[in-house]
Structure 1
Amino acid sequence: MAIEFERFLQRVRAERGGFFDRDRSITVVRAPGWVDLCGGVVAETGIHTLLWPTGGGVLVALQPDPEPVIRIRVWQRTESIPCTALFLSSGPHEYADAVSEIDRHRPPRSSWWGPALMAWVALMREEFVRFGGGARLLLHPLAGEASAATVIAAVAQALVTAYNVHLAPRELAITCAEGLYHLDSRGLELIGTLTTVCAPANEVLVVQPHQALIGGNVHLPPGCAIWTIRVGDEPRQPPFRLRSALTLAERLVAELVTAVDLPQGQEGAILASLRLTDFIRYLRDRLPAHTSVTTGATTEQMTPSALTSFVLAEQQRSRLILALLRAAASRLQREEDVHLIGELLTQSHWEQAALGLIDPHAQALAERLVASTILGVRQPVAATQATLVVLGRNDAEGDIQRITAEYQSLIGLPVRIVGGSLAGVSLAGARQV
């Protein structure tokens, strides 16, 4: 990973007098990828979510430019957009207008385009930052396509560094998430931006998404590691019907909670405030087993009772995994604890599958990734762009590579494995070149 960064610095220096101006300073930032270990698929309900900053991610080099044009180079392709599409001297455009302009100038097959440009818009609208001109941005995704949260975090950190803007890490993450929400309100990016901005390397970040609160971080047990696997090059698409189903489940549960006189949680987090025991005892049999959910022109059958049970079980799993991670410092108990963590992760995966929320490649790989060195597997949130997250022993990579190579030859699509962990951009900081 350090070698990749040094190679990128060499490329940035080589671009002086070419893509970059020879005399002005260049800000270089590396943002990690991210993955949710537990809770993320239903994080919108407010449940505790455990997050991991991965290797891979994205490298960016940014140089302010007096010309009012933003030029972005990815690989050997350079695209540009006039600053007036995003902001005027009097201030930024409304989000909707900026998004329309971003889409109008969008080059083909460029998922990085919107998140990168929304860094400018979000910083201007949320934090009143002003930019005196345009910029030249060199963007280098690593290990395949970077997530939207990774791209916007890297560009935003480069901007605040280059323009000497002082912004707390949590505020930067929230600002980035706000920009991504306006770019595509169907996704859930707050947990991603909190990870890519705030997470320490090699530690599990604990987040309460409903209030954007970070509840600390904890190390993996010694001898354990995490890998992410990505199948193919196309972005994973989130199951959009899930949001409608969760909204319906929360409404039904809120009505029942009042009827049976159970404690009500804060507004918008009724499921996160409900105990699994109370749900099983008082509410499970009162929720409909099946109901219709309409998303756009499509109507699908969902199971409010099973979905609510999954949300509450996921919250309980998150708390159990966190407790086990904290307890695993004891060598006597560690072996049993790490096996139980792996079991909980795999349990979450197959509960997603039972609800019809699973990616076919994630399901096929989860069935194949069986070895003594592999402790657990789970499908993460689609926004991470990872197909599967794997918890294993430090020496598990050989088994993972063997199994994924067999799967790659079977399906004819690239399968990428990313290991390691990098600090979020607020901790890693930026380099001036």
Structure 2
Amino acid sequence: MSTNLDRFAQQARAERGRFFDRDRAITVTHAPGWVDLFGGIVADAGMLSLLWPTGDGVMVALQPDPEPIIRFRVGQRTDSIPCTALFLPAGPREYADAAGEIDLHQPPRSPWWGPALMAWVALMREEFARFGGGARVMLQWTDPPGLAVSVIAAIAQALAKAYGIHVAPRELAIACAEGLARLERRSAGAELIGTLTTVCAPANELVMVNPYTAQIGGSAHLPPSSAIWVIRASDEPRQPLARVRMALDHIERLLVQYDHEPALTKLRLSDFIRHARDRLPADPTGERQHTMPLAALAAFALAEQQRSRLALALLRAAASRAQRDDDLRLVGELLTQSHWEQAALGLTDPHADALVEQLASLPSIFGARQPLAATHATLVVFGRSDAEADVQRVATAYQASAGLAVKVLAHKVQN
């Protein structure tokens, strides 16, 4: 990644006297993509998630500009927005007002636009930052999973460096998550696990994220000879996240009714099975907002938390060569187990199901699972580092049979 970032920095410097002012400093930052191996879909319930910051991502070159206009250069196109759309002399706009202005000025085919601009608003509203003018920004990316998170994280880090805003990485990640959640008008669970991973995770390490405390709770390198790939089919995976969130809220209300406190994140899976499972409806209630089997969803959420912890422990233990293959295959089994439990709840994409079936027969693949839809990824695949040709072959064959574009977006091999 450093080679790509160095090349991008050279491109930015070459724009002095053209897009950038010749005499003012330029700040260059990078934010990786991210994908969840376990837990992401139930992050709103506070469940632990195990995440991977992919090596690709978003690169930003930012130069403060006294003119009150924010200009973006993406490829050969330049777009702009007046600073007054985001903030006024008296201070930042309310989130809803800023989101409306961002939508009003959005150019066509620009999914990066809202997350990029919300970085200004989030830093002003959450960290009391102030900006005396506009900026000139170059953006470049390698189609990472979780693009929106990577964009806002890269811009926010560039703004903090360029303007000398003293903010800890964790606080910056929380501000970014709040900005994205307000932009997309939903709760910040998925955004928070993504921003914490993108901003705070050590390079090339799997990280455990606790969305309840907004903390990284441990990390591990991928063992030698293993790798992770991300596959995307052109049809974006669709998970009924609003329905999942409402169902998780309903579970919490029912548990409060019996135990007098929000209890799901505090329960062990064994205690839930023994004491609490029978208190939740085993079948959908029939109400429009509660069409999921609550007992099964709660068990899945707790199992995801347990799988996250088990997988992290196994990956750490796999440093011992004697049992490495067995440990990695067990992590893959947990990954595939998670996928099919999601499928039983109606939370997977048909393309993901078909790809998991095809990958399961390959000895070089340990396991695969559909990650959180917010990453815009269809599948995360875990296997031997020499499995890339197998992953590419399955993707190519599926593209031909399904009649849609299938890409292997990212892979990381640990030597």
TM-score bin, normalised by smaller chain: over 0.9
**1:369–1:403 contact (8 Å) kept in structure 2:** yes
Root-mean-square deviation over aligned CA pairs: 2.0
One-letter identity of the residue aligned with 1:290: D
Instruction: Find the partner of 2:401 among 405, 410, 423.
Output: 410
Q: Identify the residue that residue 113 of structure 2 maps to in structure 1.
A: 113
Summarize the Cα distance change of 1:234–1:389 in structure 2 as closer, same or farther, 3 Å threshold: closer
Give the 5 Å matches for 1:76-115.
76-115=76-115
Summarize the Cα distance change of 1:238–1:110 in structure 2 as closer, same or farther, 3 Å threshold: farther
**2:34–2:144 contact (8 Å) kept in structure 1:** no
1:271 to 2:273 alignment: no
1:291 to 2:293 alignment: no
Summarize the Cα distance change of 1:75–1:116 in structure 2 as closer, same or farther, 3 Å threshold: same
Q: Identify the residue that residue 360 of structure 1 maps to in structure 2.
A: 350
Secondary structure, counterpart of 1:407 in structure 2: helix
1:176 to 2:176 alignment: yes
Q: Identify the residue that residue 319 of structure 1 maps to in structure 2.
A: 309
Distance 1:234 1:75 in 2: 24
Q: Identify the residue that residue 375 of structure 1 maps to in structure 2.
A: 366
| Structure 1 residue 76, shift from structure 2 partner | 2.0
1:329 to 2:325 alignment: no
| Structure 1 residue 285, shift from structure 2 partner | 2.6
Gap regions ≥5 residues in structure 1: 259-263, 423-433
- TM-score (normalizing by structure 2): 0.93
Summarize the Cα distance change of 1:213–1:144 in structure 2 as closer, same or farther, 3 Å threshold: closer
| Structure 1 residue 128, shift from structure 2 partner | 1.2
Q: Identify the residue that residue 194 of structure 2 maps to in structure 1.
A: 192
Q: Identify the residue that residue 58 of structure 1 maps to in structure 2.
A: 58
Distance 1:245 1:281 in 2: 21
Q: List per-residue Cα deviations over 1:82-126 (Å, max 9, x = no partner).
A: 001101122111111111111111122222111100110111111
Summarize the Cα distance change of 1:405–1:234 in structure 2 as closer, same or farther, 3 Å threshold: same
1:391 to 2:382 alignment: yes
Which protein has greater RCO, CA pairs closer than 8 Å, 6+ apart? 1
One-letter identity of the residue aligned with 2:321: R
Secondary structure, counterpart of 1:158 in structure 2: helix
**1:206–1:217 contact (8 Å) kept in structure 2:** yes
Give the 5 Å matches for 1:91-170.
91-143=91-143, 147-170=147-170
Gap regions ≥5 residues in structure 2: none
- TM-score (normalizing by structure 1): 0.90
Q: Identify the residue that residue 412 of structure 2 maps to in structure 1.
A: 420
One-letter identity of the residue aligned with 2:323: Q
**1:119–1:156 contact (8 Å) kept in structure 2:** yes
Q: Identify the residue that residue 214 of structure 1 maps to in structure 2.
A: 216
Number of aligned residue pairs: give it. Answer: 410
**2:236–2:378 contact (8 Å) kept in structure 1:** no
Distance 2:238 2:150 in 1: 15
Question: Could you tell which deviates more after superposition, 304-313 or 6-15?
Answer: 6-15
Summarize the Cα distance change of 1:421–1:22 in structure 2 as closer, same or farther, 3 Å threshold: farther
Q: Identify the residue that residue 201 of structure 1 maps to in structure 2.
A: 203
Distance 1:190 1:169 in 2: 12
Secondary structure, counterpart of 1:32 in structure 2: strand
**2:243–2:289 contact (8 Å) kept in structure 1:** no
| Structure 1 residue 184, shift from structure 2 partner | 1.4
Secondary structure, counterpart of 1:396 in structure 2: helix
Summarize the Cα distance change of 1:235–1:20 in structure 2 as closer, same or farther, 3 Å threshold: farther
Secondary structure, counterpart of 1:391 in structure 2: strand
Moved segments of 4+, more than 6 Å: none
One-letter identity of the residue aligned with 1:204: L
Secondary structure, counterpart of 1:285 in structure 2: helix
One-letter identity of the residue aligned with 2:224: P
Instruction: Find the partner of 1:239 among 222, 241, 246.
Output: 241
Distance 1:252 1:186 in 2: 22
Q: Identify the residue that residue 341 of structure 2 maps to in structure 1.
A: 351
Distance 1:204 1:11 in 2: 31
Distance 1:243 1:110 in 2: 28
| Structure 1 residue 131, shift from structure 2 partner | 0.8
| Structure 1 residue 236, shift from structure 2 partner | 5.7
Question: Could you tell which deviates more after superposition, 209-218 or 11-20?
Answer: 11-20
1:25 to 2:25 alignment: yes
Q: List per-residue Cα deviations over 1:357-390 (Å, max 9, x = no partner).
A: 1122211211111311110101111111221111
Summarize the Cα distance change of 1:131–1:171 in structure 2 as closer, same or farther, 3 Å threshold: same
**1:236–1:383 contact (8 Å) kept in structure 2:** no
One-letter identity of the residue aligned with 2:211: P
Secondary structure, counterpart of 1:395 in structure 2: helix
**2:232–2:378 contact (8 Å) kept in structure 1:** yes
Summarize the Cα distance change of 1:98–1:250 in structure 2 as closer, same or farther, 3 Å threshold: same
